[in-house]
Structure 1
Amino acid sequence: MSIVPHPRTFATCQSLAPIQNNVSTSPPIKSFATLFFCKLRQSITNAFSGGEMATESSSSGDSARTAASENGGGGSARRSRVLSSKLYFDVHTSKAPLIYSSSYDISFLGIEKLHPFDSSKWGRICRFLIAEGLLDKKHIVEPVEAKREDLLVVHSESYLDSLKSSLNVSTIVEVPPVALLPNCLVDKYVLLPFRKQVGGTVLAAKLAKERGWAINVGGGFHHCSAERGGGFCVYADISICIHFAFTRLNISRVMIIDLDAHQGNGHEVDFSDDKRVYILDVYNPDIYPFDYEARRYINQKVEVASGTATNEYLSKLDGALK
């Protein structure tokens, strides 16, 4: 079994979990991984024991119907883009399956202070782990930036072109002053960090298949779908990651475990009619995004109110995974 977490805060995460029987850990951050995911791993193993989520390629009718309706010019175009991508690359075994780049942090002209989402937390997470002796800097894996062809695996040309408008980007990241910046600066200091994190998410699935688990310190942009961004989520990295896994990792089914406080409406829309993807979403229904249509596509929803105590939250999560 592989777990690919995408932390949006230090203590909560979205998890993409392609299931595999071989589990391994890497010494540099074994304690950290165990602390956060050991219990979750065991729960998923119990929930899907008996081979319900195989890692063999599927030729089912559902898969065929999904491929016929894919973005980016059809299933063949998507497959071609995935196979020609450079987002997957071999990582030396001396590296831990933890992916991060200093390019993740967004701190241009203080815009990180204009939104409640902490856009420079990723660096602080890694610095904390290094300071605590849980991680050695030389063991971190640096991802490559997702290029336009990579993004077209899920997104349309028109959506990507819309990001050439600083006004559109400002609406998605919910920071109005971004609309006043030249788009060349917006691309370099706002969009590039997102694209680098997309690369990290995609690579995390490959490492998880090879090592048993992996962590992308960034990513998890669960409000973005193929045709719409929002909630500080510009690119649909989760959806892109899954399609890469289907094509190149011989994965037939995927489970998304979304533990962010907000509903993950982006991936829910993208996989609304795809039976290969099972979505478990633990969220507060009384806060953004209020996407009632997308809620219809959640396979298992766990709604929690503001102020829910930790033990109650974990109990609800355990119950959902059993």
Structure 2
Amino acid sequence: MKMSQKEVKEDKKTPHNTQLYADVPSTCWPIVYSPEYNITFLGLEKLHPFDAGKWGKVINFLKEEKLVTDDTIVEAREATEEDLLVVHTRRYLNKLKWSFVVAHITEIPPVLILPNFLVQRKVLKPLRTQTGGTIMAGKLAIERGWAINIGGGFHHCSSDKGGGFCAYADITLAVKFLFERVEGVAKATVVDLDAHQGNGHERDFMDDNKVYIMDVYNRYIYPGDGFAKRAIRQKVELDWGTEDREYLNKVEKFLECSLNEVPPDIIIYNAGTDILDGDPLGGLAISPQGIISRDEIVFKAARTRKIPILMVTSGGYQRRTAKIIADSILNLHSHGLIDKQFVGHEAGTTLSL
């Protein structure tokens, strides 16, 4: 059921002051990134299978292909504590001041013996900057019709609990910012195509009928959160070793069903590359071309329907995933699914800064 304009306005809270919704020059692509995304600290980042420099590699590939330059990328800003409190409890944020908590969330045990000021600077600040990037990209998606945060996609983190290398709930935050600050945005669809179930945003939106969740994941791997599954409106559980043909058919079919069932005002697309064949944690068998085709299917569905789309890059645990992400973005450009022009939200929007 579509909300009336009066109901939409009543649902908005008085927003706090933030730097994350600042205006962006029209000369910039709606591609958000900062060198601060990359985690490098005495090699400790290598103890987790995640490539903690993946995001910078994606940008370097895009620069090599002349798609972007330093001047045309939108520089991500770090989410402040006040920004994070839009979703997170103060109790949870205070827990992150304990190194052993961060070690558990990031799954890097040696972090627990480090002074927390170093953990904040070397581990959590990059994640807060990526979170700020996702929030910024949400605003850009409404203004331009699409946006990509080269980082983000921390879909295992909810308002009061982190896990699976996810310390901040950037997807929930981006949606909440849009609901609070953008008139005309009252419904969102999260399309989660990471190999893992997105239990964080599912827990956050458990009883929120304004958010429709489609989740396609390997049924046998982390997190196996049965409670969170209750929030999924379009659930597609995959078996070990699922390959391109079956996977792409299911994505296209169920995405069509989802967008027809509840047409949203924005799509949040969690585009994990841990579905890639050989990924140590994903357990699926999708080829590089399969990932490129998947992203094309999602963007084509959004652009055809004139629904703004925000993409975040999420999981991916092989060194070659950075090149695949870059190749996919270049493919979207070559097919005219992303461009530099302002598109705007058809229904018309008012941003509250």
2:103 partner SS? helix
Give, as a single letter, the amino acid of the residue that structure 1 aligns with 2:214: L
Residue from 70, 76, 89 that aligns with 2:22:
89
Distance in 2 between residues matched to 1:58 and 1:298, nearest whole Å: 28
1:8 corresponds in structure 2 to none
Please say if 1:169 is aligned against 2:102.
Answer: yes
Question: Contact between 1:96 and 1:140, CA under 8 Å: does it hold in 2?
Answer: yes
2:187 is equivalent to residue 263 of structure 1: no
Partner of 1:71: none
CA distance in 2, matches of 1:232, 1:153: 21
Q: Does 1:120 align with 2:68?
A: no
Counterparts of 1:122 and 1:53, CA distance in 2? 38
Aligned to 1:276: 210
Pairing 1:289-308 to 2, within 5 Å after superposition: 289-308=223-242
Partner Cα separation in structure 2 for residue 287 and residue 127 of structure 1: 32
Greater percentage in helix: 1
TM-score, with length taken from structure 1: 0.76
Deviations 1:223-259 (A, max 9, x none): 0000100000000011111110001112100000001
Residue aligned with 1:138, SS: coil
TM-score, normalised via structure 2 length = 0.69
1:181, 1:282 → 2: CA distance? 37
**One-letter code aligned to 1:311:** R
Residue segments in structure 2 that go unaligned for 5+ positions in a row: 257-353
Alignment correspondent of 2:301: none
- Alignment partners' CA distance in 2, 1:180 and 1:91: 40
Identity %: 52
Kept after mapping to 2: 8 A contact 1:263/1:288: yes
Partner of residue 276, structure 2: none
Distance in 2 (CA, whole Å) between partners of 1:113 and 1:89 is 35
Over residues 30-88 of structure 1, what are the superposed CA-to-partner deviations in whole Å (9 max), with x where a residue is unaligned?
xxxxxxxxxxxxxxxxxxxxxx878x75617xx97xx6xxxxxxx8xxx34x3422211
Match of 1:129 in 2: 62
Q: Which amino acid aligns with 1:173?
A: T
Secondary structure at the aligned position of 1:292 is classed as: coil
Are 1:224 and 2:157 an aligned pair?
yes
Decide whether aligned partners of structure 1 residues 57 and 218 sit closer, same or farther in structure 2, where only a CA change above 3 A counts.
Answer: farther
Question: What corresponds to 2:260 in structure 1?
Answer: none
Q: Distance in 1 between matches of 2:255 and 2:232?
A: 14
- Give the equivalent residue in structure 2 for 1:311: 245
> What pairs with 1:1-322 in structure 2 (closer than 5 Å)?
57=5, 59=7, 79-80=13-14, 82-250=15-183, 251-322=185-256
| Structure 2 CA distance for aligned equivalents of residues 157 and 192 of structure 1 | 17
* Distance in 1 of aligned mates of 2:5 and 2:53: 39
State how many pairs are aligned.
Answer: 255
The RMSD of aligned alpha carbons is 1.8
Q: CA separation of 1:272/1:58 partners in 2, compared to 1, >3 Å: closer, same or farther?
A: farther
In structure 2, how many angstroms separate the alpha carbons of the residues matched to 1:270 and 1:155? 10
Task: Give, as a single letter, the amino acid of the residue that structure 2 aligns with 1:59.
Answer: E
Structure 1 counterpart of 2:236, which letter?
Answer: V
Alpha-carbon shift at residue 183 of structure 1 (Å): 0.2
Aligned residue identity for 2:163:
G
Q: Contact (CA 8 Å) 1:280, 1:300: kept in 2 or not? A: yes
